[in-house]
């Protein structure tokens, strides 16, 4: 564990309020840990079931002397029409409840106000996820600077900003490509790959909630990003220039999990018993950089027919792989196919299928992993970048197509499978049996990363180089370390001005 800083911090108290979904919660909790290691008092506010997912690691931080704590608010299940026991996005029984979930978050305002009002010392700053927009009103009420946490990166922020500013996508059809205006690189995308906010649906409540989140983000004191400047320096500078916003890149925050236990338990409320780390032991039997790791996110909203094609593409490579199916969308259909085709029996000598949670950080950092077949969620992408593992990219929705461009085109550490359209959350059935990448595409992309040849060696070399950069940026004197220092100093100055 990183040593605690001894620098006095003027009685600073930061409050962190994460959005209840793994891709948002895990990095904000990691950031809270890093902040507390600078001898700043930190409070993480969440609901009871969400706290279980990270309470073990926070307890170890407290035992080491870190000034960090968890405070709880109750999730308004009944009031929002959400079943009891569902307190996070991935626990919803249906994506039809996403609007209810967002409304539930806005209902937390009164509880959050009552909790913050009693805090000692009184908070000097609130760091909240951009999707919990009610925090904007709380910060105004208590005259506390609010920093928005964005779970993505600066290429995503700049692309979104420029799309809103120039609206070039409005004059093209879904299947047409267009060039993004005002970017440091020439980047083309299809309109069908853009986030849903550029093609809002008929649900007026959801659209209103999204617009409120955008306004709240623009009104914030600044924005903190889980990325590092060496990875996307030109995008950091350009985003700051065109928006005039304060931006602090303080990642990759996952590197706060240094020991094996923190890596193994990250994102899980369970103990790492019962065979959950068997796949790590299995990796020990394979040569260095020989295994493909496949995971399509905590939500895994990929249709069975597409998963089948991915499975057949993996089989065709004749390479060893770990494939995390987790609670796959329409998983009963996928399980029936696996059984009828005897897929697991066919690949049992070199393939492992996992239905539950896995210690992803431990797996990716294992020397046997040679490639990560990913949905391009930013947390997953960054975890691979940190350990120098190249990517095979299969984005699904939201910011994931921008992340693919960063990996495959800007950093040149990934190869695209060729998905040409997004499948937005809750709209999976609209795509029917559409297959966005055939087994041959899957095999070809994997071979471009795993195979032999100068180009492939250079890509692997670049991935290792970015992995080294990621570690150095978090060390004392590194860019992300210094940005965290500047953030603390900035808020310290605001507090001094408020007290004078």
DSSP calls for 73-131: ----HHHHT--TT--SGGG-S-GGGHHHHHHHHHTTHHHHHHHHHT-SSPPSEEEEETT
Q: Where are the domains of the chain?
A: 13-256+474-499, 272-470
The predicted structure's pLDDT at residue 267: 61
- CATH classification code of 13-256+474-499: 3.40.50.2000
pTM of the model: 0.92
Q: Where do we find the tokens 């992309």?
A: 445
Burial annotation 237-272 (CB, 10 A radius, 16+ → b, else e): ebbbeeeebbbbbbbbbbbbbeeeebbbbbbbeeeb
The predicted structure's pLDDT at residue 211: 76
Instruction: Phi first, then psi: give them for residue 292, nearest 5 degrees.
Output: -95, 130
The predicted structure's pLDDT at residue 428: 65
The predicted structure's pLDDT at residue 356: 84
Contact yes or no for 3/28 (Cβ under 8 A): no
The predicted structure's pLDDT at residue 94: 87
What is the distance between the alpha carbons of residues 386 and 374, in angstroms, rounded to a whole number?
A: 15
Q: In which residue ranges of the chain is pLDDT below 50?
A: 1-2, 8, 269-276
HSE-up (13 A, CA, CB side) for residue 245? 24
pLDDT tens-digit profile of 49-78? 999 999 999 999 999 999 999 999 999 999
What is the distance between the alpha carbons of residues 329 and 23, in angstroms, rounded to a whole number?
A: 18
The predicted structure's pLDDT at residue 27: 95
The predicted structure's pLDDT at residue 202: 64
Contact yes or no for 224/487 (Cβ under 8 A): yes
Q: Where do we find the tokens 């509880």?
A: 111
What is the distance between the alpha carbons of residues 233 and 249, in angstroms, rounded to a whole number?
A: 10
The fold for domain 272-470 equals Rossmann fold (3.40.50)
- Assign 111 to helix, strand or coil: helix
pLDDT tens-digit profile of 322-365? 999 976 667 889 999 999 999 999 999 999 999 888 899 999 99
DSSP calls for 439-466: HHHHHHHHHHHHS-SHHHHHHHHHHHHH
The predicted structure's pLDDT at residue 214: 75
Structural element, H or E, at residue 189: strand 188-190
């Amino acid at each position: 564990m990183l040593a605690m800083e001894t620098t006095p911090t003027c009685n600073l108290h930061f409050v962190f309020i994460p959005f209840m979904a793994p891709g948002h919660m895990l990095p904000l909790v990691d950031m809270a840990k890093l902040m507390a290691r600078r001898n700043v008092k930190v409070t993480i506010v969440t609901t009871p079931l969400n706290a279980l997912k990270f309470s073990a690691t926070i307890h170890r931080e407290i035992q080491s002397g870190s000034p960090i704590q968890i405070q709880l608010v109750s999730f308004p299940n009944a009031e929002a029409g959400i079943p009891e026991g569902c307190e996070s996005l991935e626990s919803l029984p249906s994506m039809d409840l996403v609007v209810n979930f967002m409304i539930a978050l806005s209902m937390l305002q009164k509880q959050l106000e009552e909790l913050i009002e009693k805090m000692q010392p009184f908070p000097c700053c609130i760091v909240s996820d951009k999707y919990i927009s009610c925090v904007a009103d709380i910060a105004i009420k208590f005259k506390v600077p609010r920093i928005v946490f964005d779970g993505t990166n600066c290429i995503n922020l700049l692309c979104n900003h420029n799309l809103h500013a120039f609206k070039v996508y409005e004059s093209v059809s879904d299947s047409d490509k267009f060039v993004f205006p005002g970017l440091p690189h020439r980047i083309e995308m299809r309109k069908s790959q853009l986030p849903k906010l550029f093609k809002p649906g008929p649900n007026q409540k959801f659209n209103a909630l999204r617009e409120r989140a955008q306004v709240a983000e623009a009104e914030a004191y600044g924005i903190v990003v889980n990325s590092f400047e060496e990875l996307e320096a030109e995008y950091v500078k350009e985003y700051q220039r065109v928006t005039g916003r304060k931006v602090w890149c303080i990642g990759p925050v996952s590197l706060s999990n240094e020991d094996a236990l923190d890596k193994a338990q990250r994102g899980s409320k369970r103990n790492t018993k019962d065979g959950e780390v068997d796949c790590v032991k299995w990796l020990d039997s394979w040569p260095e950089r020989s295994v493909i790791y496949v995971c399509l996110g905590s939500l895994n909203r990929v249709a069975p027919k597409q998963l089948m094609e991915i499975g057949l593409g993996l089989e065709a490579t004749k390479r060893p792989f770990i494939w995390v199916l987790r609670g796959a969308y329409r998983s009963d259909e996928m399980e029936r196919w696996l059984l009828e085709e005897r897929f697991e029996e066919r690949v049992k000598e070199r393939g492992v299928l996992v239905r539950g949670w896995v210690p992803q950080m431990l797996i990716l950092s294992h020397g046997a992993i040679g490639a990560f077949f990913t949905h391009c969620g930013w947390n997953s992408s960054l975890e691979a970048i940190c350990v120098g593992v190249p990517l095979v990219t299969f984005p699904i929705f939201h910011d994931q197509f921008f992340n693919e461009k960063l990996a495959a085109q800007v950093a040149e550490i990934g190869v695209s499978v060729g998905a040409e359209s997004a499948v937005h959350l809750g709209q999976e059935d609209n795509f029917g049996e559409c297959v966005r990448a055939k087994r041959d595409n899957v095999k070809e992309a994997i071979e471009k990363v795993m195979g032999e040849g100068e180009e492939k060696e250079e890509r692997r070399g670049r991935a290792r180089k970015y992995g080294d950069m990621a570690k150095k940026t978090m060390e004392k004197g590194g860019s992300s370390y210094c940005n965290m220092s500047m953030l603390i100093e900035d808020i310290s100055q605001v507090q001094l001005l408020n007290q004078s």
